[in-house]
Chain A
Amino acid sequence: MLDCAIIGGGPAGLTAGLYTTRGGLDNVTMFEKGMPGGQITMSSEIENYPGATAHNLSGMDFMSPWPEQCQRFGLKHEMSEVTRVSRREDGIFMIQKSDGTSDEAKSVIVCTGSAPKRAGFIGEDTFFGRGVSTCATCDGFFYKNKEVAVVGGGDTALEEALYLAKICSKVYLIHRRDTFRSAPNTIARVKGTANIELVLNAIPEEVFGGAMGVDGLRVKLEDGSVRQIDVPGVFVFVGNNVNNQVLIQEDGTFLCDMTQWGEVKVDLSMKTSVSGLFAAGDMRESAPKQVVCAAGDGAVAALQAIGYVDGHQ
């Protein structure tokens, strides 16, 4: 039986793995379906993690040393997808996996993070992967010297628009308001970039195209008129949805208390409403959705999990 099962291999899961193993738990497995790293590996640049000062540091390069460091004290990584975490009457957790097998664990730290949200315009799902994208570092390359649109007005949208502006001939930044929710220096950089055109107070209505993919986007402007923007690529950065599927039980209820937005309710020590179950990172309530915070959460949850397991020996 596992002392602790860690579900998810982003910054929270990796840090939880480092702290649980280094803190004395012998049998800890982190479940992540592929190479660990998490959503930050899709970011073109990270400049707000203290100590990581390299210029133009990509999320992927930033995360590359984490797995090795976090596995140094014995953390095991199992490359499988967890489908459900449940708790038996005797207090033992069951970790069910997509291959039909399961594991038992004394404690669980859930850190399955979040995934990019879709904006909800017509054609978005149809053309996803054929012109509609949520990863500029992955797909910007396919639009070299072409025009693209970015939808969104937060930090991610602006940072990725700046990244795309270096590759593409022009970037239309489409935002439903006329102000941005982003760091002032990022806003200033966007406004100072010649090949970014701000299309403000504009709501994307439809992405259109043909067999080969996207041909353009129609947006509704404040005065009710519709503007057609002919671009082969549309990048959507409108926030994230919490990945809480593993907590859904057979009867459709959640294993622990959740907020109305589907985030896990936790206290300051990352304890959930269920004894022995902890949550960390983007999926917990009021998460700032920052790597440094996710890592901090992972450490806090790990220290609590150690105490819980020691107390139940």
Chain B
Amino acid sequence: MGKYVELTVSNFDEVTKEGVSLVDFWAPWCGPCRMIAPVIEELAGEFEGKANICKVNTDEEQDIAVKYGIRSIPTILFFKNGEVVEQMVGAASKQAFADKLNALL
């Protein structure tokens, strides 16, 4: 079972620069973030080898949050070869995230 990648300033660019990546910006105090946490974990398993499923803890990685203009969590950014191509704000279903990923793959 694949696991999501915890992104920090030191590995963010390296992980997202190639292929399709889903990046979930979250924080421990955020109810809707917690709601989608198991969804992100399942996606990590289902998209193993196909897309990078990642999380950024905005409490610890404020520089990344500022860089991408994150003002609401959860915000889910979709990257293709290092470029942001899609954005979703708020909790959504696994199907909704999977549809976005599949459209980019």
Contact = CB atoms under 8 A, between A and B. Distances in A.
B73 interface: yes
Contact of A37 (B29, B34, B93): B34
B56 to A, nearest CB: 13
Interface residues of A, number: 31
B75 interface: yes
Contacts of B58: 141
Contact of B72 (A37, A79, A138): A138
A79 B29 contact: no
Interface residues of B, number: 32
A79 B39 contact: yes
A139 B69 contact: no
A41 interface: yes
Contacts of A214: 71
B37 A34 contact: yes
A131 interface: yes
Interface of A: 33-35, 37, 40-42, 58-60, 79-81, 98-99, 128-131, 133, 135, 137-139, 141-142, 212-214, 232-233
11 contacts: A34-B36, A35-B35, A40-B31, A42-B31, A42-B32, A129-B89, A137-B29, A137-B30, A137-B31, A139-B72, A142-B65
Given A33-B92, A141-B59, 15 more contacts: A34-B38, A35-B38, A37-B35, A41-B32, A81-B95, A98-B93, A128-B72, A129-B87, A137-B30, A137-B31, A139-B72, A141-B29, A142-B71, A213-B71, A214-B71
